[in-house]
Structure 1
Amino acid sequence: MCLYDTEMNPTSIKLLKSIAEGKSHQTELMTLLSIGEWQFNTITRELMHQDYMDKTNDVFIFKNNAKAALFHNIANQIDVEKLLHDSNEQIFFNLTEPVTIKDIQDSTNLSLRTIQRCMSEFESIGVIKKVDDKISIDETKEQLYLFAKLLKTENERRNIESYADIIYQDKFRILKKIPKDQRADGELTGFSLFYDYGIDYQTTHNYFIKQESSLRLEEILIHALLIAHKNKDKNAITMAILFYLKNREKMDPLDIRMIARSYGISEIWIDVEGYVRNDPLKNIDLFLPRNEFEEKARLYDIHSDLYTLPVAYPQLFRDIGKKLPEATEACLLGGENMRMKGLKDRTKDCDIVVDDDKALNNLTNTLLDLGYKSLNKEHFTNDDRRIDPFDILEHPARSRVDLFKTRIAGKLVLSDTIVQRAKIEQFTKLKLRILSNEDIFLLKSVTLREGDIQDLSKIVQSGNFDWKIVWDELLYQEHLTCMNFSSLVLESLDYLYEQTSIRSPFYRKLISRVLDHEISKLVRNREMPLDGIIELLKGNDITEKMIRNRIDYLERKKHVRKIKKGDQVLIQAKEKIVFNVYSNNPVDARDRMKKHVEQLSKYFVLSDEIKKYALELVDQVVDKGIENGRKPTGLATAIVYLATIVKGDGYYTAERIAKASNLSQPSIHALYKLVKRSLSL
């Protein structure tokens, strides 16, 4: 959905310039432009439709409005043809605020080459200024700025109902407020759908979203929060929170964060997470006092268990220790670990990890003896499935227990260094290891659950926190597991900095590590223009210079090579280098691919039919030898994507499935096409 559909051609601009210079008669203008009557009529009709000019008999004059007046004044000062021809106009009105080249690409969908050509023209007429990597209209040129704002407003209103109030708009979606007695293009969202999900909240208007993708529950929540935040309406923000609490088990917390960030309100959403947990907030003035919130929660039948929680330590562990059949070791992590150290008041569950089957069985059977019941995996929430505990046990009056074996949340393993740093407490037959704050910090950095950003802040500020331990353990975990956690940690640290201004001392080293990984992914199966890599990765704290330095580093290490083709520099992977780190142990590709299919099936809760079909495709791929020389998990990911298309409803996009496997979208599409073509599907 591209919202801009009108571009001025050079002839139209020359016509307006001629009128600005005092030419007005049709015959005179046609002669100056060297065009025929049919083309002249087409151009003038469009310019009159765009409110630039009027016609009386055969005489053309500028309209008496701000748009025409601004054009007239600007045309006398600069070369308006360079300013407005073709795609330049679209880029011009996107420079009312400082933006990066990547921002312009996102908002216009134009190619990098087109944008660069436009910027060169703008610089030649002196209409823009650059500060670091941000570009904007020169603020000293007031009329130019006003003209750009006017064009931008016109574009935003194009194809939108005249009675609509735009809440948010980008090139993919429009969120708008509509009077209740009016119709609108799009579908209802935000507060307009609250009643359907158990929250009876009446508003004076309806809210519509127009977008190409299907509306998701997480988007309804963020749309409501965006509307409430725009109006600075504390009561409406509270209603959005109640909607979240009522429907939390149906939503994915990572998806909520991602959507909030795409709408520019991630900071507000992190505060919502904190408010639910009664943590300190960055924007406290946006929220009702706690007692008023709790009163509203009671009115809407939101049980206090959803925002006030039981405690586990020490009584639960005393009871476990007395009932265990033999000496057993376990490690305490997560929120309960923090609560017992005085770093938080409550937590919704108690996370425990053990290192072998014997300890797992002992602990599970003891909890069952204490009245716990194992939660059927069919009842796992999206968050539960993502964290993927070995078992979840619930009790009507005690803390929920999430049990992990060796690997925590499908990511970090219980390493010897983590175990050695833990403090030991003895509860009869239970030896409980209390994980260090540094290890809790790293765990929370890679799991990104609700409220984790506030927890990270509390851990860092608890005193005697050692960042070096976090960095060393991150590197050790990536070595042990052959997985990339650096990108997840960087995302967490960015959230932490946005919310609290806390910056890790290894932040720059982490960016370099993430950049190396991202560059490697981009060039793994193809040549990539250097300029293209820079524009894809640049932004926030990542500068062009940093990206160039990392590419130079990878070239020195013989991981990549630079190739000159025409006027472009291309980056290519060295064939002998595999950028993803894998174990050197020989692994059966069929087994590895099937295991990855099983993991993805569990992660996305795919039907048995889709999983069975995907496993059959693995056998066919291996039998044909297609896997030779290719990454097994990459092929398995593409097979799952293919299976969801053939046997499913297309709900699982390539982007979502690729993201779950830490695979780029170009890679999954290439492998998908390879499998489909090789198997003649």
Structure 2
Amino acid sequence: MGFTTTQLGIVYEKGNGKNGINEIALALKKSKSQIYRALKDLDKMNIVRIKRRGFELMSNTHTSYLVNNLLNHPNLISLLSGSSIQIIQECLSITSVSKIVDKTKLNNATIYNWIKKFQKVSIIKKINNQYLFNTKLWADLKNFIIEFKKFNDSVDPRVKPNSKIYFKNKDLIVFSTKTLENASFTAFSKYKEFGINILTTKNYYSLPFKKKNVVDIFIDSLYVVEKEKDFRNLLFVALFYLKNKKKLGKINNIILNNIKKILKGEHINDYPSLLEIKERAKVYNIKV
């Protein structure tokens, strides 16, 4: 979810004291209809609330950070538009252009173009052909990027507002609810079909509809435990891996890598121990 310069301009002008639609349209040299269209999108981002007469800025965390950043650095109106926020998010930890391409699916030219712009104002610094966000100079911007990502990760038009989202991109969304949904069961809701019958307090789903194979189900499980490091779920992930080891061995994931270390005898905090895995594996007749 990205911004247009018009949307950011509206937030800036509102934060700067301009209240009327006509006044803001004049300041931005836009038509009233353009302003209203931009406001509808900002409303979906929970940044403004449209009222019968005009609109107001929301008082949530990501909006507060955005307003303060724009008022202190008006040049961010152009620097936070389009796909720029996706790139900044990836640079919160040191990364390379190839990794940004993999994560965002943006092309090299677009990424390099934005990075050059960010480097000019020291938002991003280059370290041995890799890139890192400059927290020392742009701490408030980092706070906005983090909070806006949290918001984006928690909402999606494909699912109901009460859904818990674990993973999403344009091709897939993995989520849970306590109700029945018109979506494919996945993750722990499918474990019983593979011999691990467990009771869950919620239903795990994915969209679009797809016949899930063992790899799909396991990867979706990893998405869940990445967001919610529940001890019980980690234990069942370990059991599912052991039961389907031949088909799942090539998956590269930090949680799975930790489970493999535990199975070799290592102790990792907040994970089930080898003894606990062995004891539960006996219940399901799984060889450790």
Establish whether TM, by shorter chain, passes 0.5: yes
| Structure 1 partner of 2:117 | 121
| Deviations 1:184-222, CA, capped at 9 Å, x for gaps | 464222321222222222222222234687522133235
Q: CA deviation at 1:111?
A: 1.3
- Give me the whole-angstrom Cα distance separating, in 1, the residues matched to 2:87 and 2:44: 21
Q: Tell me if 1:19 matches 2:14.
A: yes
CA contact (8 A) 2:183 2:209 kept: no
Give the whole-Å Cα distance in 2 for the aligned partners of 1:239 and 1:56.
48
Q: CA RMSD in A?
A: 3.3
Residues 127 and 138, structure 1, Cα contact 8 Å, conserved in 2: yes
Residue matched to 2:62:
67
How far apart, in 1, do the equivalents of 2:198 and 2:52 lie?
57
Closer, same or farther in 2 for the Cα pair 1:282/1:185, shift >3 Å?
A: farther
1:149 maps to 2:146: yes
Matches within 5 A, 1:436-455: none
Q: What whole-Å deviation, never above 9, does each CA across 1:249-282 have from its counterpart, x for those lacking one?
A: xx43xxx2333x1x4434225336xx2xxx4336
Paired residues for 1:468-507 under 5 Å: none
Shift of 1:144: 0.8
1:105 matched to which residue of 2?
A: 101
For 2:266, which of 240, 262, 281 is the aligned residue? 281
Structure 2 match to 1:40: 35
Matching residue within 85, 92, 101 for 1:89: 85
1:507-539 alpha-carbon deviations (Å, 9 max, x no partner): xxxxxxxxxxxxxxxxxxxxxxxxxxxxxxxxx
Matched, 1:300 2:284: yes
Question: Are residues 1:178 and 2:177 paired?
Answer: yes
Partner of 2:255: 265
Gaps of 5+ in 1: 308-681
Task: Note if 1:158 corresponds to 2:142.
Answer: no
Change (3 A) 1:287 1:85: closer
1:192 to 189, 192, 199: 189
SS at structure 2 position matched to 1:76: helix
Alpha-carbon distance between aligned partners in 1 of 2:267 and 2:124, rounded to the nearest angstrom: 35
Q: Aligned with 2:190: secondary structure?
A: helix
Aligned CA distance change for structure 1 residues 266 and 207 (closer, same or farther; 3 Å): same
| Secondary structure at the counterpart of residue 160 of structure 2 | coil
Q: How does 1:204-243 map to 2 (within 5 A)?
A: 204-210=201-207, 214-224=211-221, 227=224, 230-231=228-229, 233=231, 235-243=232-240
Q: Distance in 1 between matches of 2:51 and 2:20?
A: 10
1:190–1:220 Cα contact (<8 Å) kept: yes
Q: 1:204 to 1:77 in 2, by over 3 A?
A: same
Look up the match of 1:657: none
CA distance in 2 between counterparts of 1:185 and 1:117 reads: 41
The amino acid that maps onto 2:177 is I
- Which string of whole-angstrom CA distances, capped at 9 and with x for unpartnered residues, describes residues 128-153 of structure 1? 23333443432233321111112212
Tell me, in whole angstroms, the C-alpha distance in 2 between the residues paired with 1:201 and 1:55. 45
Give the counterpart letter for 2:79 in structure 1: L
Deviation at 1:223, TM superposition (A): 4.0
Q: In the alignment, is the contact (CA less than 8 A) between 1:106 and 1:171 conserved in 2?
A: no
- Quick one: which amino acid aligns to residue 192 of structure 2? Y
Give the whole-Å Cα distance in 2 for the aligned partners of 1:210 and 1:136: 33
SS at match of 1:268: helix
User: Structure 1 residues 190 and 63, CA, compared in 2 at 3 Å: closer, same or farther?
Assistant: closer
Q: What amino acid is the match of 2:268? A: N
Q: Secondary structure at the match of 1:215?
A: coil
Secondary structure, counterpart of 1:150 in structure 2: helix
| Counterpart residue type for residue 71 of structure 1 | L
Q: Mark the CA change 1:9 to 1:265 in structure 2 (over 3 Å): closer, same or farther.
A: same
Superimposed CA distance per residue, residues 111-166 of structure 1 (whole angstroms, 9 cap, x where no aligned partner): 11111111112222332233334434322333211111122122222324333333
Cα distance in 1 for residues equivalent to 2:269 and 2:18? 61
Does the aligned pair in 2 maintain the 1:83–1:92 contact within 8 Å?
A: no
State the secondary structure of the residue aligned to 2:250.
Answer: helix
Q: Secondary structure in 1 aligned to 2:249?
A: helix
2:204 partner amino acid = Y
Distance 2:54 2:204 in 1: 46
Aligned match of 1:315: none
1:258 partner SS: coil
- The code of the aligned residue for 1:68 comes to T
**Partner SS state of residue 174, structure 2:** strand
Any conservation in 2 of the 1:107–1:171 contact (CA below 8 Å)? no
Corresponding letter in the other structure for 1:268:
N
Please give the secondary structure, in 1, of the residue aligned with 2:34: helix
Q: Write out aligned runs for 1:462-541 (5 A).
A: none
Q: TM-score, normalised by structure 2?
A: 0.79
**Deviation of residue 67 (structure 1)?**
3.2
**C-alpha distance 164-132 of structure 1, shift in aligned 2 (>3 A):** farther
Cα deviation, 1:366-407, whole Å, max 9, x if unaligned, reads xxxxxxxxxxxxxxxxxxxxxxxxxxxxxxxxxxxxxxxxxx
Identity among equivalent positions (%) equals 20
* Residue 22 of structure 1, CA deviation: 2.6
DSSP-derived class of the 1:176 partner: strand
| Cα distance in 2, alignment partners of residues 11 and 284 from structure 1 | 47
State the shift of 1:84 in Å: 1.6
Q: Which amino acid aligns with 2:154?
A: R
| Contact preservation (8 Å) 1:161, 1:184 | no
Note closer, same or farther for the CA distance 1:300–1:142 as it changes in structure 2 (3 Å cut). Answer: same
CA change 1:59–1:231 in 2 (3 A) is closer
Deviation digits for residues 617-650 of structure 1, max 9, x if unmatched? xxxxxxxxxxxxxxxxxxxxxxxxxxxxxxxxxx
Between the aligned partners of 2:30 and 2:271, the Cα distance in structure 1 is 60
Correspondence 1:345-360 to 2 at 5 A: none
What letter corresponds to residue 129 of structure 1 in structure 2? K
CA 148–224 in structure 1, closer or farther in 2 if over 3 Å, else same: closer
Q: What is the identity, as a one-letter code, of the residue corresponding to 2:119?
A: E
Structure 2 gaps, min length 5? none
CA distance in 1, matches of 2:85, 2:208: 24
Partner SS, residue 135 of structure 1: strand
